[in-house]
Structure 1
Amino acid sequence: MGLAKQLIVDGKDVVLIDNSHERIESAVSKLDCLGILGNGTDIAKLLEADIEHAQAFIAVTNSDEINLVSCGLVSSSYPQVKTVAAIRSLIYTGADGLKEGLLGIDYIVNPNAETARSIFNIIEQGVNGNVLGFTNSKLLLYNFFIEPFSSYVGSTVMEMRNKLQAEFVIASINRRGLVIVPSGNTTIQARDTLSIVADSEEVTDILKTVGQLQKKPNNMVLVGASRITRALLNRMSPSMRSKVAVVDQDEEVCRNFSERFREILVIKADITDEDIMAEEQLGSYDLLVALTDNDELNIITASYAKRIGVDRSIALIKQNNNYTRMASYLDIDVVISTTDTTVESLLRYLRGTNVSSIHTLFNDQLEVYEFVVRAESLVCNKQLKDINMRKKAIVAGLTDRAGNSTIPTGLTALKEGDTVLVAVMRDSSEFIQKLFG
């Protein structure tokens, strides 16, 4: 339903097909969409949804087989319709992804791989839930809350840059729930949340200055030997894995992980055993990541870990996104939603091949795009001062083809192959996509 909501806000007409009467009723009551009770592999239901006139068909059920078959059916019958499938099992895709053209599917997203990638990036950035990274850029986005006693209260954006003595752009300000794109003369107020874009080294310096620098964890424990755990370990180097412990109660799963990842410590135990935390000295770890298939267990484990001395914790949410709102009250540092990471991947594809990253902030009011400038783009070879973004967006960062990241000025010209970070108000996102597309 999260993807449907995003597409509806984008102005798309959405038809949902689901075999659950309750889910259809819930979606139709909350969203401006049509609902059809049935299965995506039923050609009659596809015709009822007017599939022949659709731009895209997206299969994101919990069944890989249904997603594959329904996309294959649409692709063979209606080749003009883009097909997108969520596939979780490596049996179908292999370790390197699905072979291009198989069943005619245009785009495959692996929710487990997307979630593992997000967790890995968060660990690399010091497990700071306020820091977001991008695919092709060393620039980071940092959400900085202005305390009432902060020395920055009353300063303009330009004055704050001078005080911090760092190169950065304030891409947006969330002020009491209302998001604005600031100018250099915008005054900073108490309890503002500033979205700051800067080079990774500059962000580190800023975090040091405001006392919020988090060191990268030295050792970590992963609770639950799930598919996401496996994907996360595959992303780690052998030296990084040597500092990892994995806890799971299934003996065969533990044996498989021990054989596959020789560097890690595997602990066969039930994490709900009240003595296991003390016996295995889990409180001495810098980070605990709860990755079981049970949302409630992940939330409880991540919260309890902080109480026994673990510096930071991450909890995985796979089913109920409502749990993400509870994290700040339970002292959990970061909550990762499989649904959110999957939706971001799908939106990257649906919004154009030159979109390499997208982050949605502040209850969907703001989007931050990572665009690759193409020769045919309307902004190519133009200076920023000559690009009219209607005061609804700001180019917050640029990375050239050589990998050099800079904070742009009005005189900066956008060249083919440059990667630019653009923060845009949601109601102007379609205009910005056309401008940079």
Structure 2
Amino acid sequence: MKIVILGAGRVGWRLARQLVDEGKEVTLIEKDPESARRAAERLDCRVVNGEGNSVPVLRKAGIEHADFFISVTESDEINMIACSLVAGEYSEPVTVARVRNLAYSASRMVRRRLYGIDHVINPEIEAARAVIRSLEKGAVGTVNPFSDSGLSMTSITIDEDCPLAGKALSNVRSSLDKDFIVPLLIREGESVIPSGDTVIESHDMLYVIAAPEGTNAIISAAGFNRRELKRIAIAGGGRIGRYVADYLMGRDDPGEAEPQRAWSGLIGRFRRKAPSRRVHFVERDYTVARELASDYPGALVSHADISDEEVADAGMLEGYDLLISATGNQELNIVSALHAKNHGVERSIALVRKASYVTVAREMGVDVTVSVTDTMVDSILRILRKGNIRSVHTIAGSDFEIIDLLLDESSPLADKHIQDMKLPRDSLILVVNRGEEYLLPRGNLAVRANDRLVVITPRDEVRKLEEAVAGK
């Protein structure tokens, strides 16, 4: 697979590195000479220094031979124009554009008629969805759904006083009488693929795959209060904070502003079941605070800096169930989340952009850390996958990926027993979803066409897994 990426910023760099690790042929275009030089030195891919909205530069990058063109610069307009140029000159590459402006990303005309963009990814919407999924499970950890299978993967941190600490996974499963799989745990910074005999230790991070009832059961068994989070404070009135507030307040009035209606359509299934909660914005910019007060008359808006001691001392956060720290400063988001917990806020979610900050924040005690970069990269990876791969989830601090795939009738794996499959190194089938059933992957189980498989595989073996599923 040949992929051309425009933009060597945080998303482009992270995406290029992951795809190179998977054995893809990647060319990176970057207009800034210094950024291009750093990328050439540190990434094992071809780097072209030039403007991505230039046909000669695109040709130099080998766009005529590319399977995908992904434009992830900081400019919506450049991303759309570059995709338009590629679509106009070449029919083969699938075009993907990072577009932050909601009016653009919600427009079918932009995607199909005018610019020829095959896929539009809005990073703030993807991050907001991740926040919403987490808070709907009590902000215990990150929640990643496996497409429409009904399964999801939830991260759970084992505190020192957690009832599960000291218990073997097999004993936990038998005591709960619910189906769940723990494909991976992070222990002291190392990735561990556990067995049933693995004993859970304090400070472990468990990744649990289950249907909703199984997820809820293990969350409760871990000692987390499953009551609904009703009083929610949001630090920062930017796009992500606004999108989450729209959901929390159940804003679905057709008389509201056009951007709101566009967001309602994009958030889709979340909006339909959102109960109304009490929302409190904390925003340090006076002009933004006034706009929030006007746009959200049902919310409380405080003109204050979340980092000031007076916010806690004045009791602004007293009695709140959750703080979502979504300012533009990721370090402030982490500190604010910790500060809020020290002043009685039960749970906290912090937004970051550096993937490395996810592990740091977790170790410091933030309940949930959502990486805007990771959610964006995961969304793009779902588009790139072959072999009927429906979704893919990277795990911060790990070299493994969890992949959800659908077997079709042409797959070489269809009708094979699991014990006879030749899967890549260290790859394991975790769950077989057949209709309404979730089957444990025993060796004598034969998988069928239209089965959904959840597989864990090392990142550098993803290409081999794609080939095994789709056939060469």
Length-normalised TM-score, structure 1: 0.85
Q: Which amino acid aligns with 1:230?
A: R
* Residue pair 2:230, 2:277 contacting (<8 A) in 1 also: no
Q: State yes or no: 1:374 paired with 2:408.
A: yes
The answer to which of 336-345 and 360-369 deviates more is 360-369
Corresponding residue for 2:467? Answer: 434
- 2:431 and 2:456 map into 1 onto residues whose CA distance is 10
Q: How many angstroms does 1:35 deviate by?
A: 2.1
Q: How many angstroms does 1:7 deviate by?
A: 0.5
The residue correspondences of 1:227-266 to structure 2 (distance < 5 A) are 227-236=239-248, 238=250, 240-266=275-301
Q: Which amino acid aligns with 1:368?
A: I
Q: State yes or no: 1:202 paired with 2:214.
A: yes
Cα displacement string for residues 218-259 of structure 1 (whole angstroms, at most 9, x for unaligned residues): 211011111112222333462644321122244554454445
Q: Secondary structure at the match of 1:104?
A: coil
The residue correspondences of 1:63-74 to structure 2 (distance < 5 A) are 63-74=75-86
* Residue pair 1:87, 1:111 contacting (<8 A) in 2 also: yes
Q: Which amino acid aligns with 1:430?
A: R
The answer to which of 71-80 and 115-124 deviates more is 71-80
Give the root-mean-square deviation of aligned CA atoms: 3.3
- 1:77 and 1:201 map into 2 onto residues whose CA distance is 50
Corresponding residue for 2:263? Answer: none
The answer to which of 195-204 and 86-95 deviates more is 195-204
> Residue 392 of structure 1: which of 426, 435, 459 is its match?
426
- 1:19 and 1:337 map into 2 onto residues whose CA distance is 25
The residue correspondences of 1:212-291 to structure 2 (distance < 5 A) are 212=224, 215-236=227-248, 238=250, 240-279=275-314, 281-291=316-326
Cα displacement string for residues 323-355 of structure 1 (whole angstroms, at most 9, x for unaligned residues): 334313543222211111100000010113833
The residue correspondences of 1:325-404 to structure 2 (distance < 5 A) are 325-352=359-386, 354-361=388-395, 363-389=397-423, 392-401=426-435, 404=436
Q: State yes or no: 1:424 paired with 2:457.
A: yes
Q: How many angstroms does 1:194 deviate by?
A: 5.2
Q: How many angstroms does 1:76 deviate by?
A: 1.1
> Residue 295 of structure 1: which of 330, 336, 360 is its match?
330
Q: How many angstroms does 1:99 deviate by?
A: 4.0
Taking a change above 3 Å as real, the CA distance of residues 264 and 418 of structure 1, as seen in their structure-2 partners, is: farther
Corresponding residue for 2:179? Answer: 167
* Residue pair 2:359, 2:396 contacting (<8 A) in 1 also: no
The answer to which of 24-33 and 210-219 deviates more is 210-219
* Residue pair 1:283, 1:305 contacting (<8 A) in 2 also: no
Cα displacement string for residues 40-83 of structure 1 (whole angstroms, at most 9, x for unaligned residues): 01222222222222222211000001101111111111221221
Q: Which amino acid aligns with 2:73?
A: T
Taking a change above 3 Å as real, the CA distance of residues 374 and 263 of structure 1, as seen in their structure-2 partners, is: farther
Corresponding residue for 2:93? Answer: 81
Q: Secondary structure at the match of 2:404?
A: strand
Taking a change above 3 Å as real, the CA distance of residues 262 and 96 of structure 1, as seen in their structure-2 partners, is: farther
The answer to which of 277-286 and 225-234 deviates more is 277-286
* Residue pair 1:381, 1:413 contacting (<8 A) in 2 also: yes
Taking a change above 3 Å as real, the CA distance of residues 378 and 254 of structure 1, as seen in their structure-2 partners, is: farther
* Residue pair 1:241, 1:263 contacting (<8 A) in 2 also: no
- 1:61 and 1:85 map into 2 onto residues whose CA distance is 9
- 2:293 and 2:434 map into 1 onto residues whose CA distance is 42
> Residue 26 of structure 2: which of 14, 39, 44 is its match?
14
The answer to which of 349-358 and 59-68 deviates more is 349-358
Segments of structure 2 that go 5 or more residues without pairing to the other structure are 1-12, 251-273
Q: Which amino acid aligns with 2:386?
A: G
* Residue pair 1:258, 1:265 contacting (<8 A) in 2 also: yes
* Residue pair 2:130, 2:144 contacting (<8 A) in 1 also: no
* Residue pair 1:71, 1:105 contacting (<8 A) in 2 also: yes
Taking a change above 3 Å as real, the CA distance of residues 231 and 95 of structure 1, as seen in their structure-2 partners, is: farther
The answer to which of 297-306 and 352-361 deviates more is 352-361
Corresponding residue for 1:27? Answer: 39
Q: Secondary structure at the match of 1:283?
A: coil
- 1:92 and 1:263 map into 2 onto residues whose CA distance is 28
- 2:167 and 2:106 map into 1 onto residues whose CA distance is 55
Taking a change above 3 Å as real, the CA distance of residues 101 and 382 of structure 1, as seen in their structure-2 partners, is: farther
- 2:55 and 2:342 map into 1 onto residues whose CA distance is 54
- 2:303 and 2:186 map into 1 onto residues whose CA distance is 45
Corresponding residue for 1:408? Answer: 440
Q: How many angstroms does 1:405 deviate by?
A: 5.3
The residue correspondences of 1:90-109 to structure 2 (distance < 5 A) are 90-94=102-106, 98-109=110-121
Q: Secondary structure at the match of 2:115?
A: helix
Q: Secondary structure at the match of 2:361?
A: helix
- 2:453 and 2:285 map into 1 onto residues whose CA distance is 46
Corresponding residue for 2:349? Answer: 314
* Residue pair 2:425, 2:461 contacting (<8 A) in 1 also: no
* Residue pair 2:190, 2:398 contacting (<8 A) in 1 also: no
Taking a change above 3 Å as real, the CA distance of residues 291 and 50 of structure 1, as seen in their structure-2 partners, is: same
* Residue pair 1:220, 1:245 contacting (<8 A) in 2 also: yes
Q: Which amino acid aligns with 2:84?
A: G
Q: Which amino acid aligns with 2:130?
A: S
Taking a change above 3 Å as real, the CA distance of residues 46 and 204 of structure 1, as seen in their structure-2 partners, is: same
Cα displacement string for residues 167-215 of structure 1 (whole angstroms, at most 9, x for unaligned residues): 223324556666465666x655867765442232223323333435554
Segments of structure 1 that go 5 or more residues without pairing to the other structure are none
- 1:3 and 1:27 map into 2 onto residues whose CA distance is 12
Length-normalised TM-score, structure 2: 0.80
Q: Secondary structure at the match of 1:282?
A: coil
- 2:222 and 2:101 map into 1 onto residues whose CA distance is 44
